[in-house]
Structure 1
Amino acid sequence: MDDRIDVASLGWPAGLVGELDHRRLKAPSVKLRSARAGEHGDVTYCVDLRIRHPNADEYLTSTELHSVEHFLLEGFQRLLPEHFVSVGLMGCQTGFYLGFVNEGRSEVLCACLVRILEEMQAATVVPYANIEQCGNWRNHSLDDAQRVAREILARREHWLDAA
């Protein structure tokens, strides 16, 4: 963590920022994993969107991960086009890493996440789930993605209580 960045002023609980013992992690939750200031003043943020409890046999299927990833990618690109960098799957199949530049306020990022998850409920297709835009376009399920979105939304009042 970069000491020049005041994570508390961004709305993140300071004691829950960075790498934490995975046995303590709650899910679903949203926590700041890292913040780094570049030499020209830009700040990159990595946010941990934990959907399932680590090491508790509650893993997301590859289809769930893949479909939710597409919604997160489309949603953050649309809602935060100047700040969104990337969404990465956690190899442990418990969530996602979300990358942003120059936007690390928990209130803004969580509000965008709520909007994406709520919009998923009205979706009729998974974004980019076609042969032109996806390398495994048949591995998607709108129903699974919507169910996972409801699971995440159900705990939104506790997202920042990550451990």
Structure 2
Amino acid sequence: MIDTEILGWRAALVGELDHRRLKAPSVKLRSAQGAADGEAIYCVDLRVRHPNADHYLTSTELHSVEHFLLEGFMRLLPAHFVSVGIMGCQTGFYLAFRNEGRAGRLCDTLEQILAAIEHAREVPYANIEQCGNYRNHSLADAQRVAREILARRADWLDAA
């Protein structure tokens, strides 16, 4: 059993929550699964927009920010980053990590990635060789979403 509070997560906010209670932007531990060999997988929700509030991320915003998250976590946490996925409800992202579940470290790394978007000159991997829909990107959209998330940095762990 993984003690998620030692990792900096509020136990009452770990797992699936009533979406009417969720705040955005926020960073919330969805699950922590340990294995017999000592390995652990941590699934984190990066909620950008409030669920069911009729203010969703566009496909271009989701796609472009996803590319930045992918590049950033692979670069900054290469031994731990597993995957980034888009929430089908268009309100955020699922992040998966191996053997790194500390809330502080994950939030600090996310902050670095989002801050770097402001100075980026292009969306990473937004080319025909690396992306299956390379025309569906916008640096300006990614920068606007990054600013939106960063503006609430102090409240990220207050997910509900």
Displacement, 1:156?
0.5
Structure 2: tracts of 5 or more residues without a match: none
1:104 counterpart residue number:
101
Q: Kindly, what percent of the aligned residue pairs are identical?
A: 76
How far apart, in 2, do the equivalents of 1:38 and 1:137 lie? 37
Q: CA deviation at 1:41?
A: 1.1
Cross-structure match for 1:47: 44
TM superposition shift of 1:40: 1.3
Query: 1:144 is aligned with what amino acid?
Result: D
- 1:7 maps to 2:4: yes
Tell me the distance in 2 between the aligned counterparts of 1:121 and 1:93: 22
Among 137, 150, 153, the residue aligned to 2:150 = 153
SS of residue in 2 equivalent to 1:87: strand
Q: Does 1:59 align with 2:46?
A: no
Matched, 1:24 2:21: yes
Q: TM-score, normalised by structure 2?
A: 0.99
- For 1:121, the equivalent position in structure 2 comes to 118
Cα RMSD, aligned residues only = 0.4
SS in 1 for 2:120: coil
Kindly provide the amino acid, as one letter, of the partner of residue 140 in structure 2.
Answer: D
Aligned pair count? 160
1:88 partner letter: G
Name stretches of at least 5 consecutive residues in structure 1 with no aligned partner: none
